[in-house]
Amino acid sequence: MFYRVIIFVIGLALVGLTFALMWAGAGFFLDRMGEKERVFERARLIAIWTFAGFGIGLLFMGLGGPVLGTVAFYRSARATLPHISEARVLLWGFSVVLLSTLVAGGLLFGGLALVA
């Protein structure tokens, strides 16, 4: 029973880490695109929509989280920065979603390997 509580706490921490990584990735994206105004709020907005799209994609499509998360990143980033090319936004969105998922998933499976 104690191990279940540990894994639950680790899982909650990794969900928070996934959101934080998406937020940092969105902030890095805005910084690389030369955006200087309201970066904190815009990065938060992009991260919220990306995380929501990722979660809905995982819930309804299984492995569709990276796809729907990338689409959500694209839509929210294009609303914030319409002058950036579409291919650049899609690649950034996919890389942010994929990197945050791989880091959090790797830590989760590493924690499971330690407990098991």
Contact 52, 97 (CB under 8 A): no
In tens digits, the chain (116 residues) has pLDDT values of 787 887 788 888 889 999 999 999 999 999 988 888 888 899 999 999 999 999 888 888 777 888 889 899 999 988 888 888 888 899 999 999 999 988 988 887 887 787 77
The alpha helices in 1-116, defined as continuous H runs, are 2-32, 39-61, 65-80, 86-115
Stated length of the chain: 116
φ/ψ of 100, rounded to 5, equals: -65, -35
Quick one: which of 54, 52, 51, 50 has its CA closest to 64?
54
- DSSP annotation of 62 reads S
Amino acid at position 70, single letter: T
Measure the CA–CA gap between 74 and 105, rounded to whole angstroms.
Answer: 23
